[in-house]
Amino acid sequence: MLASSRTLTLVVATLFSTLAHAADLYVMSSGGFTAALQQLAPVYEQKTGDRIHIALGPSMGTAPEAIPNRLARGEKADLLIMVGYALDTLVAQGVVDGASKIDLADSRIGLAVRAGAPRPDISDVDHLKKALLAARSIAYSDSASGVYIEKEMYARLGLVAELKPKSRMIVAERVGDVVGRGDAEIGFQQISELKPSKGADIVGPIPDAVQKITIFSGGVPKTAGEPRAARALLEFLASAEARPTVAATGLDPKTR
C-alpha cells in the first residue's frame, strides 16, 4: 500500500512538474512550411506539453498578415519560420537572434491547373513557354515564388510583354484555390503551398533551367517570451524525426 502511494505521489509530482514547465509558444509561419508545421505541432505538443499557437502570413509583401508587418504591430512571436533571405533581413535589422537560425527545407516552384483540366507539357523551357503563351490567365503568389516569377522568370523567358498583361499576383490566398475555382487557368506557387488545394492539379515543378529554390528557415526573435522553448521546437522541426513529414508536404528537408 505504501509503495502504491509513493508511486502515485511520484506520478502526480511528475505531472505537475511537466505542467509547470509547459510553454505557450507563438509561431509565425510562412505558407511554404505551414502544412509541415500543422502536422508536426500536435506531435511536439504531445511530447513536451507545450502549446503551439500558429499565425500564418507571407514572408514579405504589403499584406497585413505578412510576418514583418505582424511583428511591426507588436504581435507575439517566439519563433519565425519563413523564407531564409527574408529572415536574414530581420537578423540584420536586429529583430531576430542570428545564432538561432536553422535552415529547415528547400522548396521548389510548381505549376498547377484546375482539377480535371488538360495538363500542359512543361518538361522543358520551350514547352513551358508554349503553355504560358497559350494560357488565358496566370496567377502567382505575393511571396518569394511570385516575386521571382514576376521580376525574373518572365524576363529570362523573354516573354514579359506577352505574359504580364494576363498575369496577376494573389494576395493572402493560396494560388491553388484561385486556380481551382477557375479564376486563373495556370497558377505558380511553391509545391508545398499548392498541395493543400483540393481543386487544383499539380502538373509538376517548373524546369530546372528556370527553377528557383527557396530555403525555409527558422529563427527566434529577440523579444521572444519563451526563447529556450522556441529553440527546442526549432531543433525538433529540423530533426530526423520530422523529416519524413516535411518531405510528404512537398518540401526537401535539410540534413544537418
pLDDT in tens, 177-198: 999 999 999 999 999 999 989 8
Grade residue 5 by pLDDT with cuts at 50, 70 and 90.
low
203 lies in the same domain as 218: no
144 and 178 housed in the same domain:
yes
Q: Are residues 159 and 242 in the same domain?
A: no
Which pLDDT belongs to residue 157? 97
Q: Are residues 165 and 219 both part of a single domain? A: no
User: Is residue 145 domain-shared with residue 26, that is, in the same domain?
Assistant: no
Query: Using only C-alpha atoms, what is the Rg of the chain?
Result: 21
Q: What is the mean pLDDT of residues 24-41?
A: 94
Whether residues 18 and 102 share a domain: the answer is yes
pLDDT for position 19 = 45
Cβ-count burial 104-118 (b if 16+ within 10 Å, e if not): bbbbbbbbbbbeeee
Quick one: pLDDT at residue 2?
45
Binning pLDDT at 50, 70 and 90, where does residue 13 land?
very low
- Kindly state the average pLDDT of the residues 67-80: 96
In this structure, the answer to whether residues 79 and 119 fall within a common structural domain is: no
Q: Does residue 44 share a domain with residue 88?
A: yes
In tens, the pLDDT along 143-190 reads: 888 999 999 999 999 999 999 999 999 987 899 999 999 999 999 999
Cβ pair 203, 113 in contact under 8 A: yes
- Is the pTM higher than 0.85? The answer reads no
Across the range 247-256, mean pLDDT stands at 92
Residue range(s) defining the domain that contains residue 162: 109-210
| Same-domain pairing of 19 and 67 | yes
The CATH number for 24's domain is 3.40.190.10
Count of domains observed in the chain: 2
Between 10 and 125, name the one with better pLDDT. Answer: 125
The reply to whether 147 and 85 lie within a common domain is no
- Say yes or no: 8 and 88 in one domain: yes
pLDDT of residue 63: 83
Distances (CA, A) of 201 to 14, 39, 56, 113, 124: 49, 22, 23, 5, 19
**Same domain membership, residue 70 and residue 39:** yes
> How would you class 81 by CB atoms within 10 Å of its CB: exposed for 0-12, middle for 13-18, buried for 19 or more?
buried
